[in-house]
Amino acid sequence: MRVLAVSADRGIAPDGTKGASIHLRSILGALCELGCEVLLLSRRLPAEPLPFEVAPLDSLAETLREFRPDLVYERYSLGHESGLEAAQRAGLPFILEVNAPLASEALLHRPDTTGESDAEVEARLWREADVVLPVSSALEKLVTEARGHHRGVLRLANGIDPRLFATLPARSPTLEAPFRLGFLGHPKPWHGTRLLVELVAELANRGIDAILRIVGGGPGAVDLHGALAGRGLENRIEITGALPQAVAVARFAETDLALAPYEDMQPFYFCPLKVLESMAAGVPLVSQQLGDIPELVGDAAILVPAGSVPALADAVVALLEDPDRRRSLAAAGRR
């Protein structure tokens, strides 16, 4: 089967280190392993070879004629509908992967990047795609409402490649400070960065010797460092910067527990990769009772009420003082 993949987001480099790049690369790589011939059209070209060919997005019409795909698979990007239109003109099935309601997300977090027509384009994509793959139950509900029916809607939660984690050594929980609290990824406003700042400050007030390790980078990490420095806590944060995925996983696996905090937002439409990767890495996880997170983690994490810094701090302290509990959570997460 020939799959023409489309990624129109300028912020997603096919060979990049952030979660969206890793997810795109992993999905298309898995299709290659299944025997598909995959060609990705992207606004950004990779610097290194990938398991699939990558061509410029502006070659869409020419590529359709020459590649002759069996279907078009697009990762939904804000305001982009030429993939849908090209598939319809060619009579090809159009499959749309949806990771967020980008029109409303952009309006809230980056209003300078969105235009008046983006919400209309989003509704059209969700309505006219042959198959829509939302990654969460909240997105499934939004897509179904836009279509007016559930036909062609298949919720497919995010996942991980277990091969990346299989060789990580089991780490014995320690009672020796300083403890390292891991956050995996490039922090964004919706990742609960305010909660991370408040948590570090609260732990310092309680006399807990803990350091926040950001396994990632970007402007959000810089802002986190600045916020902690403003409280005299600049020695309580480590930032690795962007790392290759395998290196990032190994650095993260060295932490004593993982944090995946979020503000109390509704609807909570995420299917957080950092939650899944924390469990796969064998790092005991503290996250929050939001959206699909309870379904994702089962009994393999401690979940606290969303947005509550005291509850978050209580859970972190209780785990740091209980190495046996950390060991059991780590094992449950790996399973």
Q: Identify the helix (H) or strand (E) that includes residue 289.
A: none
What confidence category does residue 113 fall into, taking pLDDT thresholds of 50, 70 and 90?
A: confident
pLDDT at 19 over 80: yes
DSSP string, 69-132: -SEEEEE--TT--HHHHHHHHHT--EEEEESS-HHHHHHHH-GGG--TTHHHHHHHHHHH-SEE
Q: Count the Cβ atoms, other than its own, within 10 Å of residue 267.
A: 15
Half-sphere exposure of 260 (CA within 13 A, CB side): 28
pLDDT given at position 191: 84
Instruction: Give tens-digit pLDDT for 49-106.
Output: 999 999 999 999 999 999 999 999 999 999 999 999 999 999 999 999 999 999 988 8
Nearest CA to 301 out of 270, 278, 322, 318 is that of 278
CA end-to-end distance (rounded Å), the chain = 33
pTM of the model: 0.92
pLDDT given at position 110: 82
